[in-house]
Amino acid sequence: MISVKNITKVYSDNFYALSNISLDINRGEIFALLGPNGAGKTTLISCICGLIKQTKGLIKVSNFDTLKDYRKTRALIGLVPQEFPLDSYESVLNTVNFSRGLFGLKPDDRYIKNIIQSLKLWDKKNSSIITLSGGMKRRVLIAKALSHNPKILFLDEPTSGVDIQLRKEMWDMILQLKRNGVTVILTTHYIKEAETIADRIGIIDKGKLILVEQKENLINRFGKKSIIIEFGKKIYEIPNKIKDFDCFITNDNFCLVIKKLKNNKDINIKKMINIISELKIPVVDIKTEESSLEDIFLDIISERV
CB of 5 to other proteins, least distance (A): 20
Task: Estimate to the nearest angstrom the gap between the alpha carbon of 177 and the chain centroid.
Answer: 16
According to DSSP, the β-strands at 200-205 and 30-34 are parallel
CB of 35 to other proteins, least distance (A): 18
Phi, psi dihedral angles at 120 (to 5 degrees): 60, 45
CB of 136 to other proteins, least distance (A): 16
H/E stretch holding 25 reads strand 16-25
Which CB atom, from 21 or from 191, has the smaller least distance to other proteins? Answer: 21
10 Å Cβ neighbour count for 199? Answer: 15
97 SS3 class: helix
d(CA 9, CA 16): 6
CB-CB contact of 145 with 79 (8 Å): yes
According to DSSP, the β-strands at 152-156 and 77-80 are parallel
d(CA 207, CA 223): 24
Which CB atom, from 103 or from 231, has the smaller least distance to other proteins? Answer: 103
CB of 102 to other proteins, least distance (A): 5
Which CB atom, from 98 or from 254, has the smaller least distance to other proteins? Answer: 98
CB of 89 to other proteins, least distance (A): 7
First to last CA, the chain: 33
1 SS3 class: coil
Footprint of other proteins (CB under 8 A) = 11, 43, 46, 49-53, 70-75, 77, 79, 81, 83-90, 94, 98-106, 144
CB of 50 to other proteins, least distance (A): 5
CB of 88 to other proteins, least distance (A): 7
Phi, psi dihedral angles at 295 (to 5 degrees): -60, -40
**Rounded to the nearest 5 degrees, what angle is found at the Cα of 59, between the Cα atoms of 57 and 65?**
115
Provide the strand spans (E) within 215-298. 224-231, 246-249, 255-261, 283-290
DSSP letter (8 states) at residue 18: E
